Amino acid sequence: MKNCYINLSMFLLVGSFLFSCKNEPSPPTPYGALPTESQLAWQKMEYYMFIHFGPNTFTNVEWGDGKEDPKVFNPTEVDCRQWAATAKAAGMKAIIITAKHHDGFCLWPSNYSTHTVRESLWKDGKGDLLKELSDACKEYGLKFGVYLSPWDQNHPDYGTPAYNQTFANTLTEVLSNYGEVFEQWFDGANGEGHGGKKQEYNWDLFHQVVYKHQPQAIIFSDIGPGCRWMGNEKGIGGETNWSRLNVTGFEPGKNSPPVDTLNSGNIYGEKWVPAEVDVSIRPGWFYSPTTDDKVKTLEHLMEIYYTSVGRNANLLLNVPPDRRGRIHPTDSTRLMEFKEAREKAFKENLAKGKVFASSVRGNSKTYSPDNLFDGNYDTYWATDDKVTTASLEVELTEPQLFNRLLLQEYIPLGQRIAEFNVEYQDQQTGNWLPLTKATTIGYKRILCFPAVRTNKLRINITHSLACPVINNLEIYQAPDYSLDNEENRKTVQTLPFKEAFVVNLGEETNIKGFFYVPENKVEAANIARYNFYISNDNKNWRRLKANDLFNNIRNNPIRQDVLFDDNVKAQFIKIEPLELTNESENYSLVELGVIK
Ligand code: FUL
């Protein structure tokens, strides 16, 4: 009897061991290119501040030409602690500053340039903005990042092979003197022809320098390797947004992939290069008093939040300090409103109840759909490897009114889902009705739809590249904002490329400059290079600007203001297009007018 007992317990022990092995399948095999630990940590930051500050802050231009007198840089009350305090209060996780923009002006006293804060009037040439900002970031628990433009319109080495080493030296300075740098931002812009000089960049060298001093840093450029440009400066990430990208054969800048590829990534892309959305709270990147009344509305910022963080991208929001060296009260007020609006929208997660899955990996509790509600990033629902279509049915404890659905894929195992739809059960009829559909999810996807009241919701994954792996599902009822973007309401005229555009001012007018409002679309054919004339009789023309370039109009097609050296008098003005932002036989023009 005793023997028999032993045998039975051994049998039970072995049996339960076998049973648990059978029910404990291994985690899903990672799919495709994967994020590094730094990329995962970076993705979880979601939202941080961009700071454009330099001579342009004082000169009303977006691209300084490097010939400006460094003395124009003279902020009277720089307060980097105010920037950091504002970023912190706004819910941001970091600040990235334009250490050197295209004018070559260095915000630290670089040993490799004579166009720096040292040559400015600020603090009698004794200041170091990178020091002040990196200290402020440490104090406020924010990460610190640096933007450096390889394109440099001031440095005498630019356009010669020596420049690559000069730029590497410059990089070394900013990456070794100010503590940890979480992101190194390389601008791809290069208005070649503007300064006339061309430069072959040694990207391998630049990357080596970054990783030598800051091995954990995320390198931003059009093609990464850490994260990629989203393809526009309007804050609009792709509705389809893969964090993978094909990079072989491409370079940042002129040889980068087309903007629509940057916008959506590549489904089977070879590298993990997630998207970052960079956009300014004002029309331009630098402060100008002319934009004090053009700070983006709360509605616009909320829209941007949904088209960036809500579409699997990080949001880098530019807040340019003013001429005192402080964040302007309008901008900081808007940031606080934005924070409050997000808090309101995501105040109460209504996803409470039960969730059923059409299929669970190995029928194991480890991969149960309950993990979607547990708030733990590292637990997830998954199906068996061969199961690539599946449904999740959420049964809420009680009917709820909601208009947002937030989903997250567990990206340490790769991005998988390519198409899904959402249905809800009609309370009266019991019928399932379509609610919304989408393609990718990635790290985070927030779907917005007209509010419905129901207690049952179904997510049907109709196409996944490997078994789906989802770690979070949240439901919200957010206040709706309707976006009324003034720029989009204006009428766009399309004119033949060969035809100049003339405006009759009605009478002889005293003018300081002119403005051109392009079509506010990156894909539009706007005027990039032009001649500009004035006349009193519409016959005899005097040319005031020859072969001039509108700054950054390709990526940021906003109103362009051009001031003349001296005031002039004229009744007629004329713009003659010489080059367009995109190849076309016609060009777009919303308005041409004068600045009096
Ligand atoms: C662009 C630049 O040309 C703009 O001036 C700005 O710095 C923006 C963030 O990147 O490429």
- DSSP code string of 236-255: ---SS--SEE--TT--SGGG
Say how many Å lie between the CA of residue 274 and the centre of ligand 1. Answer: 19
Q: Please state the rounded mean pLDDT for residues 435-441.
A: 97
Instruction: Give the CA angle between residues 321, 61, 167 to the nearest 5°.
Output: 80
Q: Please state the rounded mean pLDDT for residues 496-523.
A: 92
Mutate to test the pocket of ligand 1, among 276, 552, 554 (most ligand atoms within 8 A of CB): 552
Cβ 82 vs Cβ 327: under 8 Å: yes
Q: Please state the rounded mean pLDDT for residues 515-541.
A: 94
Q: What average pLDDT is seen over the chain? A: 93
* pLDDT, position 9: 46
- Using the predicted structure, report yes or no on whether residue 11 has a pLDDT greater than 50: no
Q: Which atom of ligand 1 is nearest to the CA of 278?
A: 9
Say how many Å lie between the CA of residue 327 and the centre of ligand 1. Answer: 19
Say how many Å lie between the CA of residue 552 and the centre of ligand 1. Answer: 7
* pLDDT, position 522: 83
Nearest CA owner, ligand 1 atom 2: 189
Mutate to test the pocket of ligand 1, among 556, 558, 560 (most ligand atoms within 8 A of CB): 556
Cβ 141 vs Cβ 115: under 8 Å: no
Q: Which atom of ligand 1 is nearest to the CA of 98?
A: 7
What is the pLDDT confidence band of residue 18, given thresholds at 50, 70 and 90?
A: very low
* pLDDT, position 209: 98
Of 34, 11, 129, nearest to 73 by C-alpha is 129
* pLDDT, position 397: 96
What is the pLDDT confidence band of residue 190, given thresholds at 50, 70 and 90?
A: confident
Q: What are phi and psi of 421, to 5 degrees?
A: -135, 165
- Using the predicted structure, report yes or no on whether residue 16 has a pLDDT greater than 70: no
Joined tokens for residue 4: 């028999």
What is the pLDDT confidence band of residue 196, given thresholds at 50, 70 and 90?
A: low
Alpha-carbon gap, residue 62 to 69, rounded angstroms: 16
Mutate to test the pocket of ligand 1, among 52, 550, 555 (most ligand atoms within 8 A of CB): 555
| Residues paired with residue 97 on neighbouring β-strands, in sequence order | 51, 146
Q: Please state the rounded mean pLDDT for residues 531-543.
A: 96
pLDDT tens digits, residue range 251-303? 998 899 999 999 999 999 999 999 999 999 999 999 999 999 999 999 999 99
Q: In residues, how long is the chain?
A: 596
Instruction: Provide, rounded to the nearest whole percent, the portion of the chain with pLDDT above 90.
Output: 88
pLDDT tens digits, residue range 323-348? 999 999 999 999 999 999 999 999 99
Mutate to test the pocket of ligand 1, among 285, 287, 522, 558 (most ligand atoms within 8 A of CB): 285
Q: Which residue has the tokens 């190995």?
A: 362
Alpha-carbon gap, residue 304 to 296, rounded angstroms: 10
* pLDDT, position 6: 41
Q: Which residues line ligand 1 (CB under 6 A)?
A: 62, 187, 189, 278, 285, 552, 555
* pLDDT, position 22: 55
What is the pLDDT confidence band of residue 491, given thresholds at 50, 70 and 90?
A: confident
Q: Please state the rounded mean pLDDT for residues 386-397.
A: 98
What is the pLDDT confidence band of residue 14, given thresholds at 50, 70 and 90?
A: very low
What is the pLDDT confidence band of residue 24, given thresholds at 50, 70 and 90?
A: confident
- Using the predicted structure, report yes or no on whether residue 394 has a pLDDT greater than 60: yes
- Using the predicted structure, report yes or no on whether residue 466 has a pLDDT greater than 50: yes
Q: Which atom of ligand 1 is nearest to the CA of 187?
A: 11
Say how many Å lie between the CA of residue 570 and the centre of ligand 1. Answer: 34
Instruction: Provide, rounded to the nearest whole percent, the portion of the chain with pLDDT above 70.
Output: 93
Q: What is the pTM of this model?
A: 0.88
- Which H helix or E strand runs over 472? strand 469-476
Instruction: Identify each DSSP E strand in 518-559 by its residue range.
Output: 527-535, 541-549
Joined tokens for residue 321: 């300090």
* pLDDT, position 197: 78
Of 64, 163, 148, nearest to 112 by C-alpha is 163
Say how many Å lie between the CA of residue 187 and the centre of ligand 1. Answer: 7
- Using the predicted structure, report yes or no on whether residue 135 has a pLDDT greater than 70: yes
- Using the predicted structure, report yes or no on whether residue 481 has a pLDDT greater than 80: no
What is the pLDDT confidence band of residue 511, given thresholds at 50, 70 and 90?
A: very high
